[in-house]
Amino acid sequence: MARIGLLTGGGDCPGLNPVIRGIVRRGIDTYGHELYGFRRGWKGVLENDAIQLTRENTSGILHRGGTILGTSRTNVYKTENGEERVLASLREREIDVLIPIGGDDTLGVARKLNDAGFPTVGVPKTIDNDLNATDFTFGFQTAVQIATEAIDRLHSTAESHDRVIVCEVMGRDAGWLACYAGLAGGADVILVPERPFDIETVCKHLTHRHETTGKHFSIVVVAEGASPADGGEAATAADTVDSFGHARLGGIAVQLEQQIEEKTGYECRATVLGHIQRGGSPIAFDRILGTRFGVAAIDAASNGDFGKMVALHGTAIELVAFQDALNEPKLLDPELFETAQVFFG
């Protein structure tokens, strides 16, 4: 029996609650552990704000979006005496192992704490699917489904009005979401951070489609982190950066709307899907992946497998060392993008 802490950090995503439920059910029923959930990510550990998690207060959450623990983008290592304060809270609550559930920022803090001697086991999460060493993160497939449904809806209105609609999806460093949703939704052009775009080529695809295929409407799917090849930066929605140094991205669709309309003469509209992609119930795939990750994480914590993250490899859940997952983002598979390109224009 041990005292295990957990937290959810960074941007929320569908599937966090299934992870929490998986950890708690397995932790109590199989190992007799006591589980403590810190509120609002690392902020809750810094402030020693936690609740005991039980079968009762984690039941009925499998299908619920968001996280019952709350989250924040708090960087322990940008906070005065951050590491000391975190260790003091964990000591005070007599926590033996911590299970942070998050993306590269949250797990980066977990890795440093583990290096500093406090046992941690990570669970990878992000709708961007840009974490290395796992085939998928939970939340991604739900976001793909939401974006695909939105693109389906944009098709009918684009067609009615003979318009080009530019649909902006999330994806800071990697175009997984844009490429998956664009492929599934039948986008006519997809723009991703990994491939800076040339606006003339984008317009050429659109005029080719409108002039030669009898279609008078098009859908362009663009990742928020996509940027022009002529050295321009990704569009930002604010001048500030978060505590991990990330800019708030957003607005590329509006820029493209103006440029495409100007260059092609086609009427154009921008739609930014934003946080709709992160909200609501997880689809079945993410409930199952989250549940399997949660069970595997508490097994690892109970077996002394620290400094590692649970990961999906094919159909198996395995453990990988933090350093194999966190050194750089997992960028879009070029072969997948080449398949998507078959349908451009």
Number of residues engaging ligand F6P in binding (CB under 6 A): 11
In the complex, least distance from residue 119 CB atom to ligand F6P, rounded to whole angstroms:
26
Nearest Cα neighbor of 110 from 329, 331, 326 is 326
Q: Is the CB of 18 or the CB of 225 nearer to ligand F6P?
A: 225
Q: Considering Cα of 54, then 59, then 62, then 66, what sign does the dihedral take?
A: negative
Max Cα–Cα distance, the chain, nearest Å: 70
Q: Which of these ranges, 44-52, 55-63, 122-130, 197-205, lies near ligand F6P under the rule CB under 6 A?
A: 122-130
Collapse the DSSP code of 308 into the 3-class scheme (helix H, G, I; strand E, B; otherwise coil) and give the result.
Answer: strand
- Write each residue from 154 to 193 as x if it is in contact with ligand F6P (CB under 6 A), else as -, in one continuous string: ----------------xxx---------------------
Q: Considering Cα of 275, then 281, then 286, then 291, what sign does the dihedral take?
A: positive
Tokens of 166: 């530019």
Does 307 contact ligand F6P by CB under 6 A? no
Q: Is the CB of 5 or the CB of 182 nearer to ligand F6P?
A: 182
* Chain position carrying tokens 């009918």: 156
* Chain position carrying tokens 């079968």: 55
Strand pairing category for 50-53 and 34-38: antiparallel
Q: Which of these ranges, 41-49, 121-129, 252-260, 293-301, lies near ligand F6P under the rule CB under 6 A?
A: 121-129
Q: Is the CB of 242 or the CB of 261 nearer to ligand F6P?
A: 242
Among 12, 104, 105, 128, the one annotated catalytic: 128
In the complex, least distance from residue 261 CB atom to ligand F6P, rounded to whole angstroms:
26
CA distances from 321 to 107, 292, 311, 318, 328 (A): 11, 18, 10, 10, 14
Opening angle at CA 334, ends 333 and 339, nearest 5: 100
Name beta bridge partners: 236: 249
In the complex, least distance from residue 172 CB atom to ligand F6P, rounded to whole angstroms:
4
- The residue at minimum Cβ distance from ligand F6P is 170
Q: Where are the beta strands (DSSP E) in 103-244?
A: 121-124, 163-169, 189-191, 218-223, 236-241
Q: Which one of residues 23, 221, 249, 300 is an interface residue with ligand F6P (CB under 6 A)?
A: 249
Q: Is the CB of 75 or the CB of 302 nearer to ligand F6P?
A: 75
> Does residue 128 have an active-site annotation?
yes
282 in Cβ contact with 136 (< 8 Å) = no
Name beta bridge partners: 4: 35, 97
- Write each residue from 76 to 115 as x if it is in contact with ligand F6P (CB under 6 A), else as -, in one continuous string: ---------------------------x------------
Nearest Cα neighbor of 33 from 6, 70, 1, 78 is 1
- Write each residue from 257 to 296 as x if it is in contact with ligand F6P (CB under 6 A), else as -, in one continuous string: ---------------------x------------------
Does 11 contact ligand F6P by CB under 6 A? yes
Q: Which one of residues 19, 127, 190, 340 is an interface residue with ligand F6P (CB under 6 A)?
A: 127
Q: Is the CB of 128 or the CB of 188 nearer to ligand F6P?
A: 128
Q: Where on the chain is the footprint of ligand F6P (CB under 6 A)?
A: 11, 103, 126-128, 170-172, 224, 249, 278
**Residues taking part in catalysis:** 128
